[in-house]
Amino acid sequence: MRPPVGAPSLTRRTRILLAAAGVLVVLLLGGSRLLNFYVDYLWFGEVGFRSVQLTRLFTQIVLFGVVGLVVGGLVALTLWLAYRYRPVFVPVSGPEDPVARYRTTIIQRLRLFAVGVPAAIGLIAGLAAPVQWQTVQTFLHGTPFGQVDPEFGNDIAFYAFTLPFLRMVLNWLFVAIALCFVLALITHYIFGGIRLTGRSGFVSTAARAQLAVLAGVFVLLKAVAYWFDRYDLLWSNRNSQTFYGATYTDLNAVLPAKLILLIIAVVCALAFFYAAFRQNLQIPAVAVVMLVISSILVGTAFPLVLQQFVVAPNANEREAPSIERNIAATRDAFGIGPDTVNIVPYAGESEATPAQVRADTDTIPNIRLLDPGKLNRTFTQLQQRRNFYGFAPNLDIDRYTIDGETQDYVVAAREMDANALVGNQQDWINRHLVYTHGNGFVAAPANQVNEALEDAGGQGGLPLFTVSDTQTEGRIPVDQPRIYYGELLDNQYSIVGAEEGTPPREYDSDEAQYTYTGAGGVPVGGLFNRAVFALAYGERNILFNSSINSESKIMYVRNPRDRVQAVAPWLTLDNDPYPAVVDGRIQWIVDGYTTLQNYPYAERVELGDATADSRLGPDGQQLPNETISYLRNSVKATVDAYDGTVKLYAFDESDPVLQTWSKAFPGSVSPRSEISPDLQAHLRYPEDQFKVQRELLTRYHVDNPGEFFSTVSFWDVPSDPTAPGGAEGGVQDAQPPYYLYAGLPNQEGASFQLTSALVSLRRQFLASYVSAASDPENYGEITVLQLPNETQTLGPQQVQAQFLGSPEVSQELNLLRQNQTTIDYGNLLTLPVAGGLLYVEPVYIERAGQDSSYPQLARVLVSYGGRVGYNASLSAALDEVFGAGAGDAAGGAAPTTGEQPSQQEPPDPNGAEAPVAPPAAPTGAQAAAAQEIRDALNDLRAAQQAGDFARQGEALAELDRAVEAFQSSGG
């Protein structure tokens, strides 16, 4: 018989080439990681959060080492035992026996296989482990909640911090034992401990013992898993269409079944251990069969029977205790309990008089006419100044107190927009060394425009801008208006700074250049750092450009949200950072949330779905669609727009999750007491948290479990009626909440609020009005004005349909569309006024098909108690609804004196607000044609009211002639 032939050996040259290739691969992979680590190391040092990076890295390295050593060590021990107790003599089935060839190859390279296989498996396991670093840190620093679950009596911290870690350890042990079992089986087969020859095959005593012990350990781990499975019932989704948490079936069938299966699993494991020392495998086989049958009968069949024949016929009674637990847990987990939410009965219907409307001096004067989601192009066309500046797609709302008067403003930062650079501006020097920063803070009172559109020769309906930049000092003074960090600077790096005496090179204005003097940026003057960043960005100019000197610094990670996320990876961030002038500096304010996935009995929310709305659209920045059952706005973060300084403030210091992470990263979060009064005055109730809470309040305002089960009193978040197709009943995203400076019933004075209307379940009638306070003295208080169930107050969709169905409105809008004009509906605001609900919607027009066009406020729609007002000014529209004099207190068109909507003339270099020439007055022909249009419209309305079709035809013909005359005159 010919002995087995071994595999051919490698030549010395081949081994050298393979080793060199391996080293090259390691350098390519490891070198890139090392480069990125060093770049991050420099950045974390710049922002002062290097301990965050190092703590995270240390945890990941320890996880890599521990998991790799445990898994690799168990594999190595398994292989050693299988090889050590292999049969001395192994029969060969023939000269072509493949097993013998493998056996010979392994024996010839025994050390390679003995070390290489465990090392490779340990390396793979170790590389997979670091992603769970947060689980380890929360386990090590877990903080008690001081609350226990209603079923097992464990502190909530056990489910938030301890159980995930124990599950992680158990899962890795499952993986390790499963790998060991498979490798032991293969090894024993290769070395003859297991043979498939003959009728029944052959298993050696050593192989049987080792495999039985491994199987017993696996089943014993399964018994531990059954013990942990009991706790998973507290967030069961068995009845997820109604509520989350342990149901009657879970508590009375599944929970006992888990304990029964645990006992059977322990017995099964003991049977395997017994078989390791006995020849008979019948006992463990019977135990396994018993475990499988029990899991089917006890774990699956019995709960189904109980659910169908006991629970389902009486579900409202059987599930009442669990629903009650779910209501209490959800309110606590999401901050919508009675301590935060105040539900107030509200009539929703009223026959208000003009005097009552005028008397509402908290809401009527502050009604917002400017929609921040619609005015990006208006701000851009009138305040961009240069093509490379830009504003965020959705502007923001904040409030400021000027001359003792507080009101809300549409605010924006004039940022550098690298994507808008054209021609030679895109040269590397211009892109990264010259055009480095934005310039200025732009704001406009949200309740005013310069003039009514029809009274200003086409130049009305525009914001009244106040601008603070390097050349202009507006009504909101800014000490340092240059913006080096902003939302439009995602992937843009800039190299700034210069030695003393070096001419400035950064563009600041057409008359001046600037040299950065702030603390932001990483030093890049040394040759080593220049080489590092040249490699990191693949740009040789960084290494050879002569303008980069010993004082130069490179700025990167410039988006405020990205900077906060990097220094606080444990936070979920709100998707809408907003700029605010705080103590004279432009600060980006970012809201940070702490979340948990498994809070006992609490509702589970898909975060991305719950925070989506029509304003974000399909391409808007949306939160990740992760499942959460706990949410707290625990951190307020700020990013300085000039030097990039990041500060985290503990806003909800009672949050145990925040306390846990503060222990993990000591010193990274400042106490709430360090929030300055000026910063506190600009903190807003965050939109994403409010969206989640309003979604939950549609159900969890109900206290009675029976009523909750019937869903009869549930509400809905309305779809946005102003989105395309919204009024026609198309499927629309949710209506976004709106920031308002307004009053509330039984509240003295106006306050800054985040508001939303809610409608009845699957109906469009208004059910309630929700408002979250943002002022420092009552921040976080949520007021719900609940309308009586029997009323049929119109909701947003119905009001929009009422607007568009009004003959006067529809006719004039159709005429505007025929005149090459695009109609855009602004935010439909819901306001509690004089015991009823007032709806206000601005209507914007824009010349169609022109790149330089921008929205202008053309009309204001008002609805109250079924009556509709429609006019170029808010005051006139209110008068149409309530009667003469009702709109006297309203804002809207402001006097022509003061600041003007555009600033096209060069500003005063001394820093004073530049006077701006008013819009050119219309010519005589234009004015005459405009008057003819108004007369024709009046004639058309009168003919329609009289039902005289002949007069309607004449009026339409006259209107066409008047429009042609107006266009030919240059209008």
Q: Could you report the per-residue pLDDT of 542-582, keeping only the tens digit for each?
A: 999 999 999 999 999 999 999 999 999 999 999 999 999 99
Contact (CB, 8 A) for 649 and 636:
yes
Kindly state the average pLDDT of the residues 851-876: 91
User: How many angstroms separate the CA atoms of 82 and 949, rounded?
Assistant: 101
Assess whether pLDDT exceeds 70 at residue 259.
yes
Q: In this structure, what token pair is assigned to residue 459?
A: 């130049």
3-state secondary structure 342-384: EEEECCECCCCCHHHHHHCCCCHHHCCCCCCCCCHHHHHHHHC
Both tokens assigned to 854:
């921008």
Which of 782, 729, 793, 722 has its CA nearest to residue 759? Answer: 793
Other beta carbons less than 10 A from residue 199's beta carbon: 4
Output the six-digit token pair for 867. Answer: 């009556």
Q: Which residues contact 838 (CB under 8 A, 6 or more apart)?
A: 363, 830, 831, 832, 862, 863, 864
| pLDDT higher than threshold 90 for residue 287 | no
Q: What is the pLDDT of residues 202-246, one digit of tens each?
A: 888 899 899 999 999 999 999 999 999 999 999 999 988 899 999
Q: Taking 90 as the threshold, does the pLDDT of residue 888 lie above it?
A: no
Rounded-to-integer distance, Cα 403 and Cα 640, Å: 26
Residue 716 identity = D
**Both tokens assigned to 763:** 């109906």
Quote the tokens at residue 311.
């629970």
Predicted confidence at residue 354, as pLDDT, reads: 85
Alpha helices (H) in 85-141, listed in sequence order? 98-108, 110-128, 133-141
Q: How far apart are CA 203 and CA 209, in angstroms?
A: 10
- Tell me, yes or no, if the pTM score tops 0.85: yes
Res. 134: pLDDT tops 90: yes
Q: Tell me, what's the pLDDT at 199?
A: 64
Q: Is 883 helix (H, G, I), strand (E, B) or coil?
A: coil
Residue 311 and residue 319 in contact, taking contact as beta carbons nearer than 8 Å: yes
Answer for the pair 554, 34: CB distance below 8 angstroms, yes or no: no
- Cα gap 504→513, rounded to integer Å: 5
Instruction: Give all strands (DSSP E) within 761-873, no chain letters.
Output: 766-773, 782-786, 821-825, 829-833, 836-847, 856-864, 867-871
Q: What is the DSSP string of 870-900?
A: EESSHHHHHHHHH-TTGGGG--EEPPSSS--
Confidence of residue 956 (pLDDT cuts 50, 70, 90): low
Q: What is the pLDDT of residue 729?
A: 46
The predicted structure's pLDDT at residue 56 = 97
Least confident of 247-261, 427-441, 489-503: 489-503
Distances (CA, A) of 528 to 6, 38, 50, 493, 914: 52, 11, 20, 18, 47
- Do residues 42 and 533 make contact, with C-beta atoms less than 8 angstroms apart? no
Residue 97 in tokens: 């026996």
Distance CA 135, CA 165 (A): 6
| Residue in the structure block whose two tokens are 């393979």 | 18
What pLDDT does residue 369 have?
A: 95
Q: What is the mean pLDDT of residues 613-641?
A: 85
So what's the pLDDT on residue 124? 95
* pLDDT band per the 50, 70, 90 thresholds, residue 535: very high
Tens of pLDDT, residues 378-407: 999 999 999 999 999 999 999 999 988 999
Match 């499975």 to its residue by tokens: 229
Give exposure, 581-601, as e/b (b: 16+ Cβ within 10 Å): bbeebbbbbbbbbbbbebbbb
Mean pLDDT of the region 507-513? 92
Mean pLDDT over each residue of the chain, to the nearest integer: 88
Contact at 8 Å (CB) between 179 and 75? yes
CA distance 497 to 494: 10
What is the residue whose two structure tokens read 């090259």? 24
For residue 967, name the pLDDT band (cuts at 50, 70, 90): low
Confidence of residue 795 (pLDDT cuts 50, 70, 90): very high
Question: What is the pLDDT, as a whole number, of residue 96?
Answer: 61
Helix (H) or strand (E) holding 26: helix 12-47
Place of tokens 């990274």: 668
Residue 741 to residue 410: CA distance in whole angstroms = 12
Predicted local confidence at residue 1, as pLDDT: 43
The single residue listed with the structure tokens 């069938």 is: 253
- According to DSSP, residue 723 is labeled S
The answer to whether 609 and 528 have CB atoms below 8 angstroms apart is no
Q: Which residue from 379, 454, 386 is spatially nearest to 416, judged by alpha carbons?
A: 386
Backbone angles phi, psi at 870, to 5 degrees: -150, 115
Least confidently predicted of 336-350, 546-560, 787-801, 917-931? 917-931
Which of 439, 451, 448 lies closest to 510 in space, CA to CA? 439
Are 46 and 520 contacting, i.e. CB atoms less than 8 angstroms apart? yes
Residue with the bigger pLDDT between 853 and 330: it is 330
Q: Write the DSSP symbol of residue 906.
A: P
- Distance from C-alpha of 502 to C-alpha of 489, rounded to nearest angstrom: 26
Mean pLDDT is lowest, of 47-51, 410-414, 454-458, 726-730, for: 726-730
- The label of the residue with tokens 């939109």 reads 687
If phi > 0 it is left, if psi is from -120 to 50 it is alpha, else beta; for residue 850 that is beta
Q: Which helix (H) or strand (E) holds 218?
A: helix 205-232
pLDDT at position 198 is: 61
Asked if residues 634 and 655 have their Cβ atoms less than 8 Å apart, the reply is yes
For 383-399, letters b (16+ CB in 10 Å) and e give bbbbebbbbbbbbbbbb
Residues 902 and 920 sit within 8 Å (Cβ to Cβ): no
**Do residues 594 and 658 touch, judged by C-beta distance below 8 A?**
yes
Residue 951 has pLDDT above 70, yes or no: no
Non-local (6+) Cβ contacts of 598 within 8 A are: 159, 160, 163, 164, 232, 234, 235, 629
By the 8 A CB rule, do 943 and 959 touch? no
Report pLDDT digits (tens) over 893-948.
544 333 444 433 333 333 333 333 333 334 455 556 656 766 766 676 666 555 56
Distance from C-alpha of 171 to C-alpha of 182, rounded to nearest angstrom: 17
SS3 labels along 749-778: CCEEEEEEEEEECCCCEEEEEEEEECCHHH
CA distance 841 to 831: 11
Residue 806's nearest CA partner among 781, 853, 839, 779 is 839
Of 504-513, 806-815, 855-864, give the lowest mean pLDDT range. 806-815
Rounded-to-integer distance, Cα 778 and Cα 154, Å: 34
Task: Give Cα separations from 541 to 101, 506, 920, 952 (angstroms).
Answer: 58, 17, 49, 72
User: Would you say 933 and 959 are in contact if contact means Cβ atoms under 8 Å apart?
Assistant: yes
Mean pLDDT of 171-183: 96
782-786 and 341-345 strand pairing: parallel
Least confident of 57-66, 656-665, 715-724: 715-724
**pLDDT in the model for residue 103:** 78
pLDDT at residue number 898? 36
Query: Where residue 322 falls among pLDDT bands split at 50, 70, 90?
Result: very high
